[in-house]
């Protein structure tokens, strides 16, 4: 079975090309880590294997358990040299967990913002995507650096939200009455 990085088959050691739609590229980290051919070294491409768990640990130590998954996905999105469409599923699920357990918002703002910021269009004929698409989908394909800025902005906002916002304290329920939250 193929694991997350494909290490069993040697894929993790192969450099991958950085795209301008990736947060890694937009953050200009690419200038320091790209080889002459524009490929990312295997050590940097796998850096999220250290930084994502480290950021998740910081979230736990700050008492932000509900944001652990969201922080891990955000760090992964920042450090990945390619913008992969499969991130939206895990990011939206992590945002749902954060909204349900970590906020008191009546509207799931983190989930909605995640779905909008990480949305990606789909076309069957990818080489002709600029001639086949219109509207927002065309803009998305025509401006990969702008998309990278949106994704990087989302990831940084998520990190700020989880690390800097006050922790949500659950309310106590006694005899059918909700009491005021403690410590908020």
Number of domains in the chain: 1
- Per DSSP, what are the bridge partners of residue 40? 16, 34
Q: Domain for residue 117, yes or no?
A: yes
Task: Answer yes or no: are the C-beta atoms of 130 and 138 closer than 8 Å.
Answer: yes
Please report the pLDDT score of residue 111 as a whole number: 95
Q: Domain for residue 173, yes or no?
A: no
Please report the pLDDT score of residue 92 as a whole number: 94
Q: Domain for residue 108, yes or no?
A: yes
Q: Name the residue range of residue 35's domain.
A: 12-168
The 8 Å CB, 24+ separation contacts for 165-171 are 167/62, 167/63, 167/64, 167/102, 168/66, 168/101, 168/102, 168/103, 168/104
Please report the pLDDT score of residue 19 as a whole number: 54
Tell which wins on pLDDT, 66 or 3. Answer: 66
Q: Domain for residue 4, yes or no?
A: no
Q: Domain for residue 3, yes or no?
A: no
H/E element, 135: helix 135-142
Q: How many angstroms separate the Cα of 46 from the Cα of each of 104, 121, 149, 154?
A: 35, 27, 22, 21
Does residue 2 carry a pLDDT above 70? Answer: no
Per-residue pLDDT tens over the stretch 102-141: 888 899 999 999 999 998 888 888 788 888 888 988 888 8
Quick one: pLDDT band at residue 30, thresholds 50, 70, 90?
very low
Does residue 44 carry a pLDDT above 80? Answer: no
- Assigned token pair, 166: 């006050």
In this prediction, residues 34-51 reach a mean pLDDT of 53
d(CA 20, CA 169) in angstroms, rounded, equals 40
Q: Domain for residue 178, yes or no?
A: no
Q: Pick from 91, 107, 86: which is nearest to 157 by CA?
A: 91
Give the whole-number percent of the chain exceeding pLDDT 70. 62
Q: Domain for residue 77, yes or no?
A: yes
In this prediction, residues 81-91 reach a mean pLDDT of 79
Q: Domain for residue 175, yes or no?
A: no
Most confident of 21-35, 68-82, 104-118, 129-143: 104-118
In this prediction, residues 7-18 reach a mean pLDDT of 41
């Amino acid at each position: 079975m193929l694991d997350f990085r494909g290490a069993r088959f040697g894929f993790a050691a192969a450099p991958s090309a950085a795209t301008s739609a990736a947060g890694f590229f937009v953050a200009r980290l690419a200038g320091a880590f790209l080889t002459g051919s524009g490929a990312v070294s295997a050590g940097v491409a796998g850096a999220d294997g250290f930084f994502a768990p480290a950021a998740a640990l910081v979230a736990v130590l700050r008492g932000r358990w509900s944001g652990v998954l969201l922080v891990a996905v955000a760090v992964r999105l920042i450090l990945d040299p390619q913008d992969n469409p499969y991130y939206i599923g895990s990011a939206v699920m992590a945002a749902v967990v954060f909204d349900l357990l970590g906020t008191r918002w009546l509207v799931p703002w983190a989930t909605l913002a995640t779905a909008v910021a990480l949305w990606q269009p789909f076309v069957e004929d990818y080489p002709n995507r600029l001639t086949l698409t219109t509207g927002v989908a065309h803009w998305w394909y025509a401006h990969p650096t702008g998309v990278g800025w949106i994704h990087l902005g989302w990831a940084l906002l998520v990190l700020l939200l989880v690390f800097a916002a006050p922790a949500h304290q659950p309310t106590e329920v006694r005899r059918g009455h909700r009491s005021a939250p403690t410590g908020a």
